Amino acid sequence: MSGSADVLLASAIAIAILMLAMWLFSLAIKNASIVDIVWGLGFVLVAWVTHSVADGNDARGWLLTLLTTAWGVRLATYLSWRNIGHGEDYRYKAMRKHHGAKFPLVSLFTVFILQGVLMWLVSLPVQLGQVSQGPDIGVLGIVGIAFFAVGLFFETVGDIQLAQFKANTANAGKVMQTGLWKYTRHPNYFGDACVWWGLALIAAEAEIGVVGIVGAVVMSILLRKVSGVTLLEKSLKKRKEGYNEYVARTSAFIPRPPKKI
């Protein structure tokens, strides 16, 4: 039986190979934005590598693997559609300009390796939830599936609504504040958090899988305080007229009716 150490090591090796290959590819095409697309696919890789190595509860293993695959493929497909053909993201352009000739090495550590480490941490429920035989999927697992479904709904519908809004040239420079965006400024980030708490709850029924909650916590912190809401809104407040008013009446994360201003 493959234990948790074997699974964690196999996932770490798979992530390291993936991120090193993508770093080399980014140097060849002179575009570090590829890492954003690879982010979702990396979790899919981890799920299937774990599934091939671990021999825990079969039903839970398939559930975690297939749900992670659905989430990762959807995210990668959407980001590919949104990003490919539009050049390098402004964040990486700024880094490239700042570091000059050192950018290739800097990007290896601060972009690709860093995201690889975070990927390994966030994916802990997908890894550890497949290790233990544990009980079959119970109430906690069903609640986790519900969380995942809500999260995937918010991500998918939120992205579609935003894409349709941006496609209308009359909305240029305006703030998206209809549909799900009326109730939360970041339905896609809220959805991401729900997805990973859902996977963590599914994994938590499997003994050591409880440790996977660390992954959901890390993802929530990233989305709420680091690379998600906080970083994006610094830019939006400068670029979008009326964004401060939108902030004043609309929840930053958890959906709720807008405040009356």
Residue 217: what residue type? V
The model's pTM is: 0.92
The answer on pLDDT for 148 being more than 50 is: yes
Which range (33-37, 85-89, 208-212) has the least confidence? 85-89
The answer on pLDDT for 32 being more than 60 is: yes
Q: State the first-to-last Cα distance of the chain, in angstroms, to the nearest integer.
A: 60
Buried b (16+ CB within 10 A) or exposed e, 109-138: eebbbebbebbbebbbbbbbbbbbebeebe
The answer on pLDDT for 1 being more than 50 is: no
Q: What is the pLDDT of residue 2?
A: 65
Instruction: Provide the pLDDT confidence category of residue 136 given band limits of 50, 70 and 90.
Output: confident
